[in-house]
């Protein structure tokens, strides 16, 4: 906010600078052109009345046969336009008007040489003009008129420094108090933002935000602290409920497993054992998905390449066709058990529906990608986002006989997003699916 206020003040002062300098330039042109126009009109009128002729070698306004201003001098077309308007107001219509700016040095000496009996024109002045403006005016039917006037911009420089000082005072009077107020407001807001981010990151304890600042901010902080307390209590109750559900369900499943061992038929016993194992896996997935808001595993620094390689080795030990392109050591801070589970779910899907998996680890400066590809039937492009919804199964490309209740990808996505990453699915050229886990470095 302070930066925006400072920028607004700067823009306002810049506009003020521009308008003031433009007005100053227009006023300066009018101020400089008016006495010149009056002087020329007066000289021409006196000459027309026969009172005083305009001479070629002396006088403020002199006669000339042509435009004698050197071509290499800088021109002032704006002054020429203003002088033409001023002469028109004096009742004079003139032809071309030419101007040239040159340093003042030598102007007094040349004038004194032409007027040896008169004192120097600017000798009594405190300071000489910065430059001399040479003016040549074409008078139709009478040749040219020439004169020299003082030209300088001391007033413009003074105006610039006056506006600069005004800007500094404005910043000191307005911006400094605003900065103090903004800092007083933003400090508790920054603390509130940090607390909200901590509260959003799973597994971190709840720390109340110090109540300070203006009344509106303190009310907001108090409401946030109360919200943290209520949400934490609700999450604690949810964890207790999930623990009780898991215990109450696993106990009868364990009893069923014991009773299954007494079944004489080997085929029935094997099927019952598989069903109980599938129920246990389903219960684990449901409880894991429900607990993802508050994982108990802390964030630690691990070698991600070694972690992926260990997951792949587990599948190889079971005789599955899973390959992994060896990668260099890659140290990252994450929850290793959860990331291992997300990778395992993707490889299980690739093995189950594609017959094998190709795993790659790609390290880039800003991110790390774990790619798990297969050569299965793939997924229709319009349904790639649907498979992340819990309990979603695509019958067109997934056979119910292979097992599963549609929680693997949902759980993997929740784990990856909790780690600050994202997971996406793309169909591979030539058939198959590629699941990519992207994690920030």
One domain for residues 249 and 308:
no
One domain for residues 283 and 337:
no
CB 102 within 8 A of CB 149: no
Residue 179: Cβ within 10 Å count? 16
- Report if residue 370 sits inside a domain: yes
Q: What is the pTM of this model?
A: 0.48
Sheet holding 131-139, edge to edge: 62-64, 143-151, 131-139, 97-103
| pLDDT for the residue numbered 290 | 66
One domain for residues 313 and 284:
no
Residue 27: Cβ within 10 Å count? 11
| pLDDT for the residue numbered 122 | 45
- Give me the sign of the Cα torsion angle 421, 424, 429, 430: positive
CB 437 within 8 A of CB 427: no
One domain for residues 12 and 148:
yes
Vertex 128 angle, CA 122 and 129, to 5°: 110
One domain for residues 148 and 250:
no
- Report if residue 173 sits inside a domain: no
Among 101, 117, 152, the domain-final residue is 152
Can you give the residue range of the structural domain that contains 59? 2-152
One domain for residues 224 and 315:
no
Number of residues written out for the chain: 441
One domain for residues 14 and 113:
yes
CB 79 within 8 A of CB 32: yes
What does the alpha-carbon distance between residue 316 and residue 305 come to, in Å, rounded to a whole number? 16
- Report if residue 157 sits inside a domain: no
| pLDDT for the residue numbered 360 | 92
| pLDDT for the residue numbered 117 | 38
One domain for residues 282 and 304:
no
- Report if residue 414 sits inside a domain: yes
Among 152, 171, 189, the domain-final residue is 152
| pLDDT for the residue numbered 357 | 92
| pLDDT for the residue numbered 114 | 46
- Report if residue 287 sits inside a domain: yes
One domain for residues 11 and 142:
yes
| pLDDT for the residue numbered 3 | 67
One domain for residues 41 and 59:
yes
- Report if residue 66 sits inside a domain: yes
- Report if residue 168 sits inside a domain: no
| pLDDT for the residue numbered 294 | 59
| pLDDT for the residue numbered 369 | 93
Grouped pLDDT means (10 residues each) for the chain, 441 residues: 68 74 74 84 84 80 86 87 87 88 65 44 51 86 85 63 76 77 81 80 69 84 89 78 74 81 80 79 70 69 92 90 88 89 90 89 91 88 78 54 64 85 89 91 84
| pLDDT for the residue numbered 103 | 81
- Report if residue 189 sits inside a domain: no
Taking Cα atoms as reference points, which of 350, 375, 369 lies closest to residue 423? 369
Number of domains in the chain: 3
One domain for residues 308 and 253:
no
């Amino acid at each position: 906010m302070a930066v925006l206020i400072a920028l607004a003040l700067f823009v306002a002062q810049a506009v003020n600078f521009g308008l003031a300098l433009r007005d100053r330039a227009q006023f300066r042109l009018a101020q400089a052109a008016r006495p010149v126009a009056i002087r020329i009109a007066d000289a021409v009128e006196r000459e027309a009345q026969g009172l005083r002729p305009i001479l070629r070698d002396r006088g403020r306004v002199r006669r000339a046969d042509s435009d004698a201003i050197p071509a290499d001098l800088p021109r002032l077309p704006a002054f020429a336009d203003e002088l033409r308007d001023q002469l028109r107001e004096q009742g004079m219509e003139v032809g071309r008007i030419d101007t040239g700016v040159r340093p003042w040095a030598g102007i007094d000496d040349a004038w004194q040489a032409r007027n040896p009996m008169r004192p120097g024109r600017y000798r009594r002045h405190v300071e000489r003009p910065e430059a001399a403006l040479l003016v040549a005016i074409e008078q139709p039917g009478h040749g040219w008129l020439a004169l020299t006037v003082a030209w300088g911009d001391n007033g413009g420089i003074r105006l610039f420094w006056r506006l600069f000082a005004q800007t500094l005072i404005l910043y000191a009077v307005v911006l400094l108090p605003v900065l103090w107020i903004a800092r007083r407001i933003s400090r508790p807001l920054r603390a509130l933002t940090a607390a909200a981010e901590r509260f959003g990151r799973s597994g971190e304890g709840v720390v109340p935000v110090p109540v300070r600042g203006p009344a509106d901010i303190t009310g907001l902080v108090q409401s946030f602290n109360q919200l943290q307390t209520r949400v934490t209590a609700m999450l604690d109750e949810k964890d207790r409920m999930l623990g009780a559900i898991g215990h109450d369900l696993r106990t009868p499943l364990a009893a069923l497993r014991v009773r299954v061992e007494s079944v004489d038929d080997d085929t029935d016993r094997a099927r019952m054992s598989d069903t109980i194992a599938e129920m246990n896996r389903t219960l684990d997935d449901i409880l894991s998905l429900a607990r993802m808001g508050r994982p108990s595993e802390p964030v630690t620094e691990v070698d991600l390449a070694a972690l992926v390689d260990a997951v792949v080795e587990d599948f190889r030990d079971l005789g599955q066709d899973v390959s992994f392109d060896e990668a260099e050591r890659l140290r990252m801070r994450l929850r290793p058990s959860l990331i291992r589970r997300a990778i395992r779910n993707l490889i299980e899907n690739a093995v189950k529906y594609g017959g094998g998996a190709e795993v790659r680890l790609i390290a880039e400066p800003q991110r790390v990608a774990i790619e798990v590809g297969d050569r299965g039937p793939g997924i229709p492009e319009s349904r790639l986002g649907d498979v992340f919804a819990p309990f979603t199964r695509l019958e067109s490309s997934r056979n119910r006989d292979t097992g599963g209740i549609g929680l693997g990808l949902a759980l993997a996505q929740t784990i990856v997003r909790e780690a600050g990453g994202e997971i996406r699915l793309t169909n591979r050229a030539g058939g198959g699916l590629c699941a990519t886990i992207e994690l920030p470095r």
